[in-house]
Each structure stands twice: as structure tokens, then as C-alpha cells.
């Protein structure tokens, strides 16, 4: 009897799995989110760069502290005073008080300031401190703008030029250029001629002394300085200058403390 042979059925090869539509959708969404995040970061960095100040630039108060008012820019500092004007190094009590009151800041456009500077030069000359008196007069003449001065300001500057020219001459320097410059401005003290020097100057100096007003001495002394620069009147002017400087010292002592 013949044996029956079992025939094994052949399995059909499995079909390749088709890509799942669901997975494709998930991958697309994920890549879209990543792209969006990257784009957001890039744009945020770019915005931050545009908003931030350039390297080395100053950050203003309003930018660093929103809501607070910005501070006004600081005013430029005044240049340091020459030593002859400084109260902190002055030994003479009257002169020190005068400097502290009137000359803490020099204003070459102010007639009052110019008059105070010239009065300081007179006091220094009265104390025998000619080098400092010359420094004060030279500083005034150097910094004043003669083109914009009024009549009183120019007259004060003219007197400073006369004092400066005399102090230079006394030291043996040539002051002709300075005196020529003084002649370029308006005519000053026309009534203080040679006759005034001989007949009225001494009376004006005495009057200022009796009235105990140091400021009143500056005007007649300015006329005396002018004639010191004239060789023909110098001898008379020297005597009057000695009287004026003695009156200046007396008023400095008599001034109330």
C-alpha cells in the first residue's frame, strides 16, 4: 500500500509594508515645530542685537532705568585760577577775604569782575608784590575781548594795560607794543592830562582815603599809571603813586574785619 506524502503549502512572500500615512503626518508636524522654534530664536537674537547699544556706546539713564528722568549734562569745569588770584594760598587777611568774596570765578565779560581784578592788582602793588600785580594785570589783558566791551569795561582794561606797561618798563622790558595797543581803543580819561596830574591827582587820592573807599582809589591811580609811562611826567607820577599806595595800605588796615 503506497504511503501518502504530505505536501506543505508554500507561503506566499509577505508584501512590503506600505508607509503609514499617520507616521508621515507626525514627522511633518515635528519638523515644522523645530523649524518654527529655530526661526523664533534667530529673529529674537536679531531683535536683541538691534535694540542693544553698539559696543563702547554709553547707556543713557532713561534706557537703563525706565521711568526715571535723565540727568542734565554736567557743566564744564572752570579753568584753575592763577596763583595770584587764589584765596587758599593768600597770607594777607584782607586780600584773602577780598579774593574769596569777589574772585572765586573770573568773568572777563563782566565790568564788575574786571574792576575787582584791577583792584586786586592795586592792593598787591601796594604790598610790594609787583610780580603778582603784573600777573593779575597780564591775565586780565590777555583774556578780555576788547571788541565786545562796553565803555566801563574798556576803561578798566585800559588802566590794566597802563599798569602792566609800567611794571614791564620798571623791569627793563620794552612795553611800547602794549601801549600802542592801549591807544587803539576809545579815548580814556581825557581830563586826566598833565594839568590834572599836577593840580588834582593828589586831591582825588586824599578824598578816597578820607571817604575810606578803596575802590575810589582805582580811578585816580589809573591816571597816575598812565603818566608813569611818559618819561616827561614820570618823576611827578612816581611821587603820586607813592601817596596812592600808602593810602591803599591804610585802607586795607582800617577795613572792618
**Residue 189: its pLDDT value, please?**
62
pLDDT-based confidence at residue 127 (cuts at 50, 70, 90): very high
Q: Does residue 62 carry a pLDDT above 90?
A: no
**Residue 80: its pLDDT value, please?**
80
Lowest-pLDDT range of 13-17, 58-62, 135-139: 58-62
Task: Give mean pLDDT, residues 177-206.
Answer: 87
Share of the chain above pLDDT 90, in %: 59
Task: Give mean pLDDT, residues 16-29.
Answer: 50
The predicted-structure confidence for 199-238, as pLDDT tens digits, reads as follows 999 999 999 999 999 999 999 999 999 999 999 999 999 9
Task: Give mean pLDDT, residues 78-95.
Answer: 90
**Residue 184: its pLDDT value, please?**
83
The predicted-structure confidence for 30-55, as pLDDT tens digits, reads as follows 555 555 555 666 565 555 555 555 54
pLDDT-based confidence at residue 131 (cuts at 50, 70, 90): very high
Average pLDDT value over all residues in the chain = 80
**Residue 177: its pLDDT value, please?**
94
**Residue 33: its pLDDT value, please?**
58
pLDDT-based confidence at residue 192 (cuts at 50, 70, 90): confident
Assigned C-alpha cell, 227: 603818566
Count of all residues that appear for the chain in the document: 257
Amino acid at each position: 500500500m503506497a504511503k501518502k506524502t504530505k505536501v506543505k503549502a508554500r507561503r506566499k512572500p509577505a508584501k512590503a509594508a506600505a508607509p503609514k500615512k499617520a507616521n508621515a503626518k507626525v514627522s511633518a508636524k515635528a519638523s515644522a515645530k523645530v523649524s518654527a522654534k529655530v526661526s523664533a530664536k534667530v529673529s529674537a537674537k536679531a531683535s536683541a542685537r538691534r535694540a542693544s547699544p553698539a559696543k563702547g556706546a554709553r547707556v543713557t539713564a532713561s534706557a537703563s532705568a525706565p521711568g526715571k528722568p535723565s540727568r542734565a549734562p554736567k557743566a564744564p569745569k572752570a579753568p584753575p585760577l592763577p596763583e595770584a588770584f587764589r584765596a587758599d594760598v593768600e597770607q594777607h587777611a584782607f586780600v584773602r577775604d577780598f579774593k574769596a568774596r569777589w574772585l572765586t570765578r573770573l568773568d572777563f565779560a563782566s565790568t564788575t569782575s574786571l574792576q575787582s581784578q584791577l583792584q586786586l592788582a592795586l592792593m598787591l602793588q601796594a604790598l610790594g608784590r609787583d610780580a603778582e600785580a603784573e600777573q593779575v594785570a597780564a591775565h586780565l589783558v590777555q583774556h578780555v575781548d576788547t571788541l565786545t566791551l562796553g565803555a566801563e569795561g574798556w576803561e578798566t582794561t585800559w588802566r590794566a594795560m597802563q599798569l602792566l606797561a609800567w611794571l614791564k618798563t620798571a623791569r627793563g622790558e620794552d612795553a611800547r607794543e602794549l601801549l600802542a595797543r592801549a591807544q587803539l581803543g576809545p579815548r580814556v580819561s581825557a581830563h586826566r592830562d598833565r594839568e590834572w596830574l599836577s593840580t588834582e591827582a593828589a586831591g582825588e587820592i586824599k578824598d578816597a582815603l578820607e571817604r575810606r573807599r578803596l575802590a575810589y582809589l582805582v580811578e585816580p591811580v589809573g591816571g597816575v599809571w598812565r603818566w608813569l609811562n611818559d618819561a616827561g611826567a614820570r618823576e611827578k607820577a612816581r611821587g603820586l603813586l607813592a601817596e596812592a599806595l600808602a593810602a591803599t595800605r591804610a585802607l586795607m588796615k582800617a577795613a572792618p574785619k
